[in-house]
Structure 1
Amino acid sequence: MIPLTKEGLDFEVQAALAWHDDDAHATIATLLEDIRHLRKQLVLSEGVMSRGMTRGWTPTLERK
C-alpha cells in the first residue's frame, strides 16, 4: 500500500466534505457506516479463507 502524503490526505478530507456539502456530521456518519460495512466483509472473508491460501496470515479487525 502506498503511504498517503499530508497533501493527499487533506485532498481526500476536502473531497469527502464537499461530497456532503461541507456537513461534517454527515461525512463522519458515512465514514462510520463504511467502516461497519467493511468490518462485516472482513469477517465474512475470514470465514471462507483457508490458512493455506494466505500462508498463515489472517485478517484482523484492529490496526497494529
Structure 2
Amino acid sequence: MTAQARHDESRLPVHDPAQGILDAHGGDALAALRHVIADAEFLHDQLAIASTILSHGIGRGWQPRFQRRT
C-alpha cells in the first residue's frame, strides 16, 4: 500500500454507533442513555408480541431469548 493510499484511508469516517447516539443528544450522556434504554424496552415489548403471535411452524421451534448472553 502506498503512503497516499494510507493517507486517504485515514480520512474515512469511522462509524461508531455509541458516538453517533451521543452526538445526536448534543453530548448529553444521560439523555443518550435514556434514549437507548427506551429503545431496548420498546424492542423487548415487540419481541414479546412477536413471540406470542408467531406460529410454532413458521418459527420451526425457534423461541426468542429476552436476555442476551454476556
Tell me the TM-score normalised to structure 1 length.
Answer: 0.80
Structure 2 unaligned segments of length 5 or more: list them: 1-13
Q: Which amino acid aligns with 2:43?
A: L
Structure 1 unaligned segments of length 5 or more: list them: 1-6
**Considering only aligned residues, what root-mean-square deviation do their CA atoms show, in Å?**
1.2
Q: Separation in 1 of the partners of 2:35 and 2:42?
A: 11
Structure-to-structure mapping, 1:1-64, within 5 angstroms: 8=15, 11-64=16-69
1:12-48 deviation line (CA, Å, top 9, x unaligned): 1111100000000000000000000001100000010
Stretches (4+) displaced over 3 A: none
Matched position secondary structure for 1:52: helix
Q: Percent identity?
A: 30
Task: Give 1:63 deviation, angstroms.
Answer: 1.2
Q: Separation in 2 of the partners of 1:39 and 1:31?
A: 12
How many residue pairs get aligned? The number is 56
Q: Separation in 2 of the partners of 1:32 and 1:18?
A: 17
Q: Which amino acid aligns with 1:39?
A: H
